[in-house]
Structure 1
């Protein structure tokens, strides 16, 4: 039934007449439930002016509807809401529920207009007889108006205006009610009211209330259930059965008897309903709200942080948060429940919540940046052995811990820089157990050379001597990579790291370019590192970490949101070379050999920071990349040795033996059942490098050697001190890179000066990689190792 007034002017005049008469009779205060004293001097003419000044249309805010975050298979990660509400059509509400709410709130609803004069008069008389406001007499339409104005209030001031006990508010509500009745039918208004009303205990709207209290739907509500819910709207807290079952029953029974009085139900129906239990506590459904209630709380908070950064949801984070919790959006994410289960199983297998050390791992898909999983050893919470810190993400995100120094996982970027500059994979550098880099200059992006006043780094593994890039990577030889980073310069390393998404996870500033950069620089997170290594697997295509894959509005239509964002950060040939080098790390003899599994190609790199305060393993196949870390996350940071992990005190801490098993178990379980994948083999040019011949300068004076190298297009530096050699004292003993290997054009060549000891360089220690024999240069007599022209060997041909 649709009720419309004949004309706005007639409506206003009718309302003014009623109000004017009420004022003159002294009854307005009671009729509209406000103090009579407030109307002193308020004339009929003024009332008419007030009504005329009011807007002609009620502008309502969209219904606050809960949003949800789902995994990539559609399973629920979390609900987000300010009000738990599920809008339904009136046809989806049981007829008995509609009758119950009308009976108790406005039994003449379908007979009157915006104002029920009869009901208002009844309320007036009741309030006058009691001497105070006992009954408001508001129609369902008026109640809907009030609820709408409250819902639209965005500030405390607006809320105060919407709820103030003043005649201005009552008159405004009445005018709005007139406008609503002109625009909508009675059934439409009732539908809006039932969807908007608060039914207590966090349930808003009839559908959410039915599900919450009775584990049913609005369409299936029974008489006793409908009566309980109809009674709740008057006092959602006081009549909430979970707060007071007795108060709820008493109110429900009032509704039932009122329905009987109105002949909506029979006496027997009322009596039978009164005898039923008010509710079954076992059927009460609590709807979890927010990330704290999620099965994946840390991942959920990371998703919400990404959403809050999206300008499509609000001008600022406060507006965005309100929108996200009220717009009924569906947020689709990259979380893969199978991969997440693998990550969690790995954490559980190798750590415990009460360990002194923490463990964390993130898995990312190469070529897309989709963050498939993240897990950590300490669960979400504020209790013992719980934390609100997410050890996988940067500090700029909600709860982000902000990372750890990444140790030798940084060497992968030095390898990439060397290959990019044209160094061959067999590029050899004499790599002793320790080297003196005190005040040795390293170039940076700013052109300023970086030095340490006292720096004598050493190797943590046994391998040393004349090593190739692959040899050094397999053994993670510090002295090799420090010298290689000097040859490449720090700027190419820093640039590649930046292009692959690495920055200081504490401050968001670029990674610091220091002499020791290749041995680790801080701070970096598992999300960042796994995404960077994923770029190697994707042949140089770096993709920003992505967790939000799509956002749908309440109607199921997409909202514009950042999608997969990738760029070719490295030439494919460079990435192929890195894959070849890091693949050897997981082959026999490499530090990651014990972590190899399956038949697919794998590559990776260990990382240990100074004093063993954190250890890493980062690695990948073509399908997944992951980074795991075990660290001390409690200030002041201490050596992991002696701390507990998996309930046991650690006697050693390493990337391969401590963080590596976390990586292996997660990757092995996540990749179970997937097809075999192989890396693309590097080209011959990548393997050989883009090098030009180096002039042979052994035995020359430093000025002559420098001049010859510079004329050939190379930069020259002289290593401090002298080395054992059979060359004359003060002359060049050898160069780095070696003459036989060549060097990229324009690269830096280091001259090592002989001490004239006439002794050969010490042999390589046992078990260290041996250099291959140089090619036969055709020396007369068939001697296979004739060097290039040299003063001591005049019969050798000159190059």
Structure 2
């Protein structure tokens, strides 16, 4: 026993001797005490060297603040954060909270400098007796420095150094604490400390903690609430009331008794607070983090993907992601909750959770590109009948599915290309039930293409019909012949100008002879926005989900806004609107989908083997696209073992299967909006811009081809010989006929006579 007592005395004397030597040697200066040197094998010379090399100012990074994503009306869609924090000024924090934290963490905070010498000496003696660091004796300023260094750490090694239980780390904190005390007032330090400190259960800063545990604000905290939060700082996990209510109460009561001891509160206040409940578990407010917790998870994730493409948020995707979760940003989106509700109601009405087929709908505002609604039948998640795929968008981020072939909705772009070339709305083409296009040449942007074995047919009415009639009935053989005459290049360029591309590869759509019947992989967002261009009289706008971004000080951050350009002449779009409105007239493939007094236009789409069916349509105010498809690989026919709305799909069609989804969504979305009308097409568009072809009947093929080319037409000579009174091998007739005329640049097919009447 005597040896133990002697050893303790020797250690104490050594400690006093060291402090004296430290002061004399200059290691104790400007309020900086070197409290732990020599207790862990660190010599005084090393200590002095360490202190002298430390920076004299601490560069403090802004604290991480949670960001918010809002709907167009300001309603919260999602919260994103690495740390759940809402900074507030000291004046917004109830004085009782300030008193509680000072009482338990640093009761002499307003009396000492960067270091509380009494507290440090007390900690030194405890650490010396234990042989290791057990108490830091850190002031609030030192704690703030430590928290700031942790916040600044960008690597695991930097975080390790910022939290290492070493004397070197304490020296660093002390040097920086002096700098902080010279830079800021005590109130400023306390404010910063209360906004950065961890209060447990994922909350950082007193405001977020007040909201989380008590559904109140830092301004309205009561004494027992303040005492609980102040007690959490020492061990945010261990004293977390959501983990251990009894331990949290015991710690809270320690704070209350310390406040009583310091005469911060009266005995009556203390006794009343000691009897108060710790928390009401039912009122603990969880702040959801990330899009997975959003009411609109797919829309939210797509918004985030667009934000991560914005260089204004950082030089790299990693930097942008960090800033998005720590910068306290306010992101306002284009989401219209009323329209979203209408679209979701359509999904709820026409689908069931266990359906094997998927359904998706996107609604866009013409003239702005604002994406107003985006819904799908599969809910977000990893469970049964759930998915992480967004079926409405391109495959440009991990959640994008990448679309489906769009079927006859592609005919709209053939119509636009034809009208642009001057083809009239009453343009007739003989369109049989089946047509042989094997080996027929179709001009592309780079040359010609053909299919050696292609004999397409109609699923609806054919005959010698006009452009309007062909659209009404969705006559395949008409549009194939029309696309041959117009050329695939104008169709492809029109589609590209309206934002159409392959949703899987992001490449332009393939120029194949069946292009007008559907090509590539197209998304509901892409198609609805393209059709919105027709509604906006040829003005194409890039799809826009992020309307604005503001930093935590509500200053705007540069972000792409509404970006529109005229890609079709208004009169051409008016002509398209007239043709596609016929689809929704009685007898049209979309005739059953008409509603109200709206001017409506649209187009059905069914891809080969019924792997997907579409309906895309619009009013002057809104455009929408709905798809029903097999989303499993390999894709299969929807008629075989697939269900929608809990029933087997026996006859999948664009009008009967996807159409009702579009109709219900659009009818609800348009409700209450002003009634607008399409502009009637001009006489020039209706009658076309065509001239008579030079008469070539009876000529030899070379002479006829030369005459037609000189007149400004593209020419092909059919391999098929036809009955005609003309001499064998001479021109029997052309398609189109000479008296029918054709716009300049059109394809004219020469048919040669077989010499038989």
- Give the TM-score normalised by the residue count of structure 1: 0.89
Using the alignment, how far apart are the partners of 1:39 and 1:378 within structure 2?
Answer: 64
Following superposition, the deviation at residue 707 of structure 1 comes to: 4.4
Map 1:230-379 to 2 at 5 A. 230-379=230-379
Change (3 A) 1:24 1:246: farther
Corresponding position of 2:457: 458
Point out where structure 2 has 5 or more consecutive residues left out of the alignment.
Answer: 1-17, 28-32
Output one character per residue of 1:257-282: Cα deviation in whole Å (capped at 9) or x when no partner: 22222222233433332232221101
Map 1:786-797 to 2 at 5 A. none
Output one character per residue of 1:681-714: Cα deviation in whole Å (capped at 9) or x when no partner: 1111111111111134445554554344344332
Corresponding position of 1:610: 608
The number of residues matched between the two structures is 734
Corresponding position of 2:687: 688
Alpha carbons 1:366, 1:535 under 8 Å: kept = yes
Using the alignment, how far apart are the partners of 2:269 and 2:726 within structure 1?
Answer: 114
Alpha carbons 2:22, 2:44 under 8 Å: kept = no
2:573 aligned with 1:575, yes or no? yes
Change (3 A) 1:516 1:41: same
Alpha carbons 1:199, 1:236 under 8 Å: kept = yes
Change (3 A) 1:34 1:427: farther
Following superposition, the deviation at residue 133 of structure 1 comes to: 2.8
Using the alignment, how far apart are the partners of 1:369 and 1:68 within structure 2?
Answer: 23
Alpha carbons 2:133, 2:165 under 8 Å: kept = no
Using the alignment, how far apart are the partners of 2:202 and 2:628 within structure 1?
Answer: 41
1:403 is paired with a residue whose SS is coil
Structure 2 residue aligned with 1:508, among 479, 503, 506?
A: 506
Following superposition, the deviation at residue 636 of structure 1 comes to: 1.7
Alpha carbons 2:39, 2:128 under 8 Å: kept = no
Corresponding position of 2:22: 20
Q: Is the deviation greater in 437-446 or in 284-293?
A: 437-446
Corresponding position of 2:564: 566
Output one character per residue of 1:628-666: Cα deviation in whole Å (capped at 9) or x when no partner: 100000112111113100001011011111111111111
Output one character per residue of 1:585-636: Cα deviation in whole Å (capped at 9) or x when no partner: 1112211111111222111111110000001111111100111100000112
Alpha carbons 1:403, 1:525 under 8 Å: kept = yes
Using the alignment, how far apart are the partners of 1:185 and 1:715 within structure 2?
Answer: 83
Following superposition, the deviation at residue 298 of structure 1 comes to: 0.5
Corresponding position of 2:178: 178
Alpha carbons 1:147, 1:196 under 8 Å: kept = yes
2:643 aligned with 1:644, yes or no? yes
Structure 2 residue aligned with 1:492, among 490, 494, 512?
A: 490
Corresponding position of 1:86: 86
Using the alignment, how far apart are the partners of 1:148 and 1:662 within structure 2?
Answer: 53
Change (3 A) 1:756 1:672: farther
Using the alignment, how far apart are the partners of 1:17 and 1:131 within structure 2?
Answer: 18
Using the alignment, how far apart are the partners of 2:24 and 2:268 within structure 1?
Answer: 42
Alpha carbons 1:428, 1:741 under 8 Å: kept = no
Change (3 A) 1:99 1:707: closer
Following superposition, the deviation at residue 165 of structure 1 comes to: 2.4
Change (3 A) 1:40 1:556: closer
Output one character per residue of 1:357-408: Cα deviation in whole Å (capped at 9) or x when no partner: 0000100000000000011001111111111000000010341100001111
Following superposition, the deviation at residue 37 of structure 1 comes to: 5.6
Change (3 A) 1:492 1:17: farther
Following superposition, the deviation at residue 720 of structure 1 comes to: 3.0
Corresponding position of 1:416: 416
Corresponding position of 1:748: 747
2:470 is paired with a residue whose SS is helix
2:221 aligned with 1:225, yes or no? no
Corresponding position of 2:12: none
1:263 is paired with a residue whose SS is coil
Change (3 A) 1:687 1:138: same
Using the alignment, how far apart are the partners of 2:362 and 2:547 within structure 1?
Answer: 17
2:708 aligned with 1:717, yes or no? no
1:424 is paired with a residue whose SS is coil
Corresponding position of 1:404: 404
Using the alignment, how far apart are the partners of 2:724 and 2:353 within structure 1?
Answer: 57
Using the alignment, how far apart are the partners of 2:93 and 2:219 within structure 1?
Answer: 4
Structure 1 residue aligned with 2:591, among 590, 593, 618?
A: 593
Corresponding position of 1:482: 480
Change (3 A) 1:251 1:439: same
Alpha carbons 2:690, 2:744 under 8 Å: kept = yes
Change (3 A) 1:677 1:756: farther
Change (3 A) 1:715 1:188: closer
Corresponding position of 1:208: 208
Corresponding position of 1:28: none
Output one character per residue of 1:177-215: Cα deviation in whole Å (capped at 9) or x when no partner: 001111111111111101110000011101111111111
